[in-house]
Copies of this chain bind each other. A is one copy, B any other.
Amino acid sequence: MVIIMKKQASSEDINHIKVKIEKLGCKVHTSEGESCIILGVVGDTSSIDTGIFEVEESVDKVMRVQSPYKRASRAFHPSDTVINLGTTSIGGNNLTVIAGPCAVENETQLLTIASAVKKSGATILRGGAFKPRTSPYSFQGLKEEGLKLLKKAKDLTGLPVVTEVMSIDQIEVTSKYVDMIQIGARNMQNFELLKAVGKTDMPVLLKRGLSATIEEFLMAAEYIMASGNEKVILCERGIRTYETYTRNTLDISAVLAVKKLSHLPIIVDPSHASGRWWMVEPLSKAAVAVGADGIAVEVHNDPANALSDGEQSIKPEKFTAMMHSLSDLAKIQNKTLKVD
Contact = CB atoms under 8 A, between A and B. Distances in A.
A132 to B, nearest CB: 5
Contacts of A31: 28-29, 31, 40-42
Given A42-B36, A133-B191, A192-B166, A4 B249 contact: no
Interface string A151-179: 00000000000000011111000000000
Interface stretch (A92-100, A112-120, A121-129, A279-287): A279-287
Chain A: interface residue count, which band? 35 or more
Contacts of A287: 286
Interface string A172-192: 000000000000001101111
Interface in A252-290: 252-254, 256-257, 260, 273-274, 277-279, 282-283, 285-290
A72 to B, nearest CB: 11
A318 to B, nearest CB: 12
A32 interface: yes
A134 interface: yes
B55 A306 contact: yes
Contacts of A43: 33-34
Nearest to A220: B134
Contact of A249 (B138, B223, B251): B251
A336 interface: no
Interface string A312-340: 11000000000001001100100000000
Interface in A80-108: none
Contacts of A34: 42-43
A310 B51 contact: yes
A282 B137 CA distance: 35
A63 interface: yes
B51 A42 contact: no
Nearest to A210: B211
A242 B245 contact: no
A46 interface: yes
A200 interface: no
28 contacts: A2-B63, A29-B31, A31-B42, A33-B42, A35-B42, A36-B66, A40-B40, A49-B138, A49-B308, A51-B308, A52-B310, A55-B277, A56-B304, A136-B219, A167-B167, A169-B169, A170-B192, A186-B190, A186-B191, A211-B240, A214-B245, A215-B245, A245-B254, A252-B283, A256-B278, A286-B286, A328-B332, A329-B329
